[in-house]
Chains A and B, each alone.
Chain A
C-alpha cells in the first residue's frame, strides 16, 4: 500500500540507471565491474526492453567482408545525418565501433559467422567504401535477431556481475536541488504500488525512444519517451525532436518491422506497375539508399497512384528471388513475422510495406561523454551536474537528421559505455551524496498519489488515457509524418497543445496498488505529450528540408539558416544551438548535396 511521505523507503546508490535496454545494460555492466553500486530501474523485465526487437545488425568497420575503415563509416554517418550530426561524437562512435562489437562477441553474442570463423557482416543502407564509393558490408549480424542476441547477452553478463535490478518499477520524475544537481529519482513498484526514493550521485537516463507517438509504428508499446518526459519536466530542453525516422519497410497498415537487412541480402521494392522503383530515386545505391530517401520514394509512388493492392496504398518488398535457403538462414525472424501476421511466406510472395514510424533521432541533449548538456547564458552546452543520458532517449547527436540502419545498436553500446566511464571518473571527484531535496521529493510523491483517488461524480471534465492517446497518435500521424507543410503543421501544433491541456483532466478507474497498469499508462501518456509538443513545435519552426524532416513548402536544405540543432523546453519554447562540426582528429566533412 502507498504510504506517508516520511515512511517512504529510501535507497542510496552511486548510480541510478533508468532503463534496461542495451544502453542501460552496457553502462550498468561497466559500472558494476568498476565496483560501484548501481541500481537499474526498469518498468519491464530487462529482456522485454525494445533493444530486443532490433533485427538487422550493428555497424563497425571490421573489414571482415569488404575493405573498410572507421573514417569511411564516419563519412557515411555524417552524410546520412544530412550534416546535422555532431562530428566529434560521430568520429568517437565510428572509431569505437570495432571494439564495441568485439566486446559483445566476448560477452557471448551469437553472431552469424563467415566461413573463416569471423563475424558475418551484411550490406545496409547508406554504407559505402572510400567516402561514397562502392557499397560496404559493415553491419554485424546475428541472423535477423541481432538486438535479441545482444540484449540477452548483456543481461546475462549483468547476472554474472551481480548488478542490482529493480524490475517492474516505474520512474516518475528526477529529483533536483536548487543548484540544478540531479540527485536521483522517485519511483514506484508496479507490483505493489510502493513509492521509493532512489538517491544517487549520478543518474543515467536510458529509456529509449518515443515511437508510440504515432498510430502506425514498429515500436513496442513501452516506447513512450519516459526519460524525455522526465528531462523536460526537469527543465531540460529536448533536441531535434522534429527528426523522426520512418522506416521504409514496416508491414503496411500493421507496422511490424521488416529489417533493412532484407534489402541488404538482395531484396528490392516494386511499385504497382511492377517497376523497381528505387532505380529512379537513387540510381547508384538503389534500395540501399538512406532510410529517409527510400521512405520518401515509397510515399511519392503511393501519392502519385503507383501503389500496390486494391487501394494502391503500399508497395511490395520482393524477396522470393533470394531462394528459401538464404531467407531461412539470414532472415528467419521476418519470415516468421510475415507468416504469422500476413499468412504469406516471403520466400514465395512479396511483402506489402509502407513507411512506418521507427526511431527518435532527437532526444535529451548530451555531449560525447553522455553528460546531459543545456544552454546556460552564452554557453550552448553546459553539463547538468549528476545527469547522463544514452541511447535513443539521448541526442549526442550521432544521427542528426537521419539515422543510418545499424547505427542504433552501435549508439547504445558506445555511449552506454562512454557514459559509464565518465561516471566512474566523476565519482572519483564527487564521493558523497548531496542531501536530497525534500521539496522536490514531496512534489513527485503528490503527483504519484494523484491517481489514487477515484474520479468523483462531480468531475465533469474527466478524460480517459485511451481516448487522449488515440487522438494524439492520430494527430501525429496526420500532422507530423513523412511529408509536412506549414498548414498541416500549424494545425498539428494547435491540436497537440489542446491535447496536452486536456491531459490535466485525465482520471483513471483503477485505484488498485497491485500491478496497476492503468496508472502506468497515465504516466506514459504524460511523457508522450511532452515529446509530441517538442516534436511538433520544432517541426513547425524548421523551414527547410533536411534528413527525415521533409517540408513540401521548403523543399531544399538551408545550411545558412538551419544547420543548427533545435531545442524545445516548457520554459523557453524554441531555442537553437550550433552543430559541432569539428571532429576529434580528422578534417571536418563540409555539407554537400546528398546523392545516393
Chain B
C-alpha cells in the first residue's frame, strides 16, 4: 500500500508543480518524517502552490496565514473573549488549529509573533491564560520565507530555524517545465479539481511505517562520520547537533520509503542531507550555501 500511495501523491503534486520532482519528494519526506518544512525562495516560484497541493493530496485540513509586521500572536493562536450572556470567557480558536498550516512569509512578522508560532510547533499545543488546547494530529507547518536580504524582514534566529526539519528551495523551473506551465491550465483551477489521495489516518500509518525502516550499523557509521566532519572541519562556527543527526535519520528513512525501499542506503542520506543542514550550519567564511553542503558529502567517505 505504501509504495502505491506515495507514488500517487507524488504523481498528483507533480502534475501541478512542474519540473520540481526533487523538491516535491523532499517536501513529502519531510512531512512523512513528522517534520515542519521551511521553503525559502523568491516570490512567485510556487511556494504557496506546493503547500496547498501537499495539503490537498494528503487530505489534510488546510489554513493559510499571511504574516505581516503588525500581526500579533493572538492572530494565529486564537483569543479568549468574554461572553456576557454566559458570564465567562470562551476561547476562539485561531488559524493554528488545523492539520496543515501554511505560514506565508513568516519572516515578515515580528519576532514575538514568530516565536508564538514556533512554540506551538514544538509543544504541539497552545496555552492561553493557563488553559492548554492540544493541536491536531497530524499537525504540520509549512512556512515560506523570502530571502532575508529583502527589505522588511525579520530573519528567524538560529534556535528557531532548528524547529524546521528541512529547509528547501524551489528555484526557477527549467525551460521545458516553464513552457508547459505557461501553456497549461490555470494552476488555481487545477488545485480546486485536485482530490485527496489518502486520508489523515493513512498518513499516520505512513509515518509509522517510515519510522520502522531498517537502519543498519554501517549507515549509522556514515551518519556519525558526517556529523563528526562538520564538528572538526573548522569551516563552521558550530557542528551539527544530535537533534540534527536524528532529523537526518528520520528524513532519510522517509526518503527510502518513498523510494520504495524498506532499508536506508547512503544515497538516501545524501539526498536529504543538504536540506537538513543548510539552515543549521553557519559557515565561517561566506560560502555559497548550496555548494558547501555538497562539499561536505564529497569530503566524507562512506564507511
Chain B binds chain A: no
